[in-house]
Amino acid sequence: MSQVRRALLSVSDKTGIVPFAKALHEAGVQIISTGGTARTLQEAGIPVTPVEQVTGFPEMMEGRVKTLHPAIHAGILADRRKPEHLQALQAAGIEPIDLVCVNLYPFESTIARPDVTLDEAIENIDIGGPTMVRAAAKNHESVAVVVDPADYESIIEEMQASGGAISLETRRRLAAKAFAHTAFYDAQIAAYLRQQFIPETLFPQEFTVALRKAQELRYGENPHQQAAFYRFPGFTEPSIATARQLHGKELSYNNLLDCDAALELVKEFATDRPACVIIKHTNPCGVAVADTLPEAVERARMADPVSAFGGIMALNRPVDAETAEKITAPNTFFECLIAPAFAEDALPILTEKKKWGANLRLLEVGELTPPQEGLILRGLTGSVLVQTRDVQLLNLQILTGKQQPGTYDLRDLKREALTLVTKRQPTDEELEQLLFAWKVVKHVKSNAIVLAKDWVIVGVGAGQMNRVQSVRLACEAAGERAKGSVLASDAFFPFPDNVEAAAIAGVTAIIQPGGSVKDHEVIAAADRLGLAMVFTGMRHFRH
């Protein structure tokens, strides 16, 4: 046990600091403090020794330099187990510091402001705070370090139960937490400055990531696996990370994966007509666009009602009562429903009309925007892959000289956006359906094939080891609806057999990236069978 006789308190977030300091004072602890923290404690009637009284040196440079002094850091870093350290303190007339309570300048909230200037951001990079925290954490054999107000109560309780001491076990736990705290803080600074100073460097040699835990999960993909959900601080794009859960039981690991897949696909239709997406095991089993949201819901569900049962639904428009009635129609069941907003009169229908409504997770994400540029991380065993998000549909740099998403409209570009490779050109109606299917196939696991007809996805072939098998599965799922449909493939056709299988099912037009060494054979097969085919020049693998 380590007795606490002297504590240094210097906090930006003053939540709970007054009762914590009061309890320390009542336990006979001398309190040293700085700036605003000292004033807060003095106003509360708690005796405080100003840091300048300890250092013999006034704060300077607008408070930039106040604790960076041997009288502070020697008191923190002295290892009480070493006589020579204690002798050095005595010789210098420095008293040990047994507890350091510090949290840092609000860098995260500062850079979250849309009007923040670079100077403001730089000024909110804490120097003295992390230095004291790291010093105390390093010397945890002798010093307790506190960075989280949530720990104040348990620390006081332990001190009261032990006569003013804090155990080594607690000090070690606090030290580990403190180093994680400063690492998180520094990772945010590194990311911000990289964006400001070297935005062209997407993949630096040392890549740091700041993540904050949103919730513990009951388990991972399977009940024997443990899991948690983390968020990137400051991320504002409509997403599962920023969603507000209005109703239903806790989201599971697999729910979160499926919800993310559903939301990312429906974002493709953010500025389109009303759209409904239904996801099962991260693949779409129903997608439809219609003139009204209730119609889109009905058409998406009926595309594959067996697979839709127990799925995840995402919508690109707020849910009203009429839409809620469609969602809760007979023979329906959904795990989660994601939408920009929910009307008040829709909520009772969704949560009370059917037995499963009591557990239906309702996620409100706000007005949708098209997917934005950024990085995504994917974990491997002992490593991580990092790549830019797949936010484009076509090779825009070649087409328009523009790379940024949101600078084009496929309906405006139409034929100019594609390479027409067959003798028969697609009709205007076929072209619209091809572009609709192309948006969806981007979100299907490779090898990916999607069949579309009348603004509904009628067949999906996902995740097969060869592409022709995906074609056959998609056609089989579509059945009679394959006749007169169009087909989208996420990557090129390596052989003509894919075209032949599609033609047998009744497909009339195909969209694919092109680029196979056998493109000429594939095109010849399409010409022979009377199909129209267009190349996009961009593939969309989704492994």
Q: Residue 356 in 3-state DSSP? A: helix
Annotation says 281 is catalytic: yes
Question: How many C-alpha atoms does 542 have within 13 Å on its Cβ side?
Answer: 24
Strand-pairing partners, residue 336, are: 312, 361
Q: DSSP letter string over 304-331?
A: SHHHHTTEEEEESS-B-HHHHHHHT-TT
Q: Is 14 left (phi over 0), alpha (psi -120 to 50) or beta?
A: alpha
Report the half-sphere exposure of 164 (CA within 13 A, side-chain side).
13
- Cα 257 to the chain's mean position, in Å? 11
Task: Tell me, letter by letter, the H, E, C secondary structure of 364-426.
Answer: ECCCCCCCCCCEEEEEECCEEEEEECCCCCCCHHHHHCCCCCCCCCHHHHHHHHCEECCCCCC
Q: Which of 22, 281, 354, 518 is catalytic?
A: 281
Q: Is 453 in the active site?
A: no
Angle at CA of residue 73, ends 36 and 55, nearest 5°: 60
Q: Would you state the structure tokens that stand for residue 394, as one six-digit string? A: 């076509």
In what helix (H) or strand (E) does residue 533 lie, and over which residues does it extend? Answer: strand 532-535
Q: Is 311 in contact with 285 (CB distance < 8 Å)?
A: yes
Distances (CA, A) of 41 to 34, 308, 411: 10, 59, 64
Catalytic annotation, pick one of 85, 138, 353, 518:
138
Contacts of 172 (CB under 8 A, 6+ apart): 140
Active site residues: 138, 281
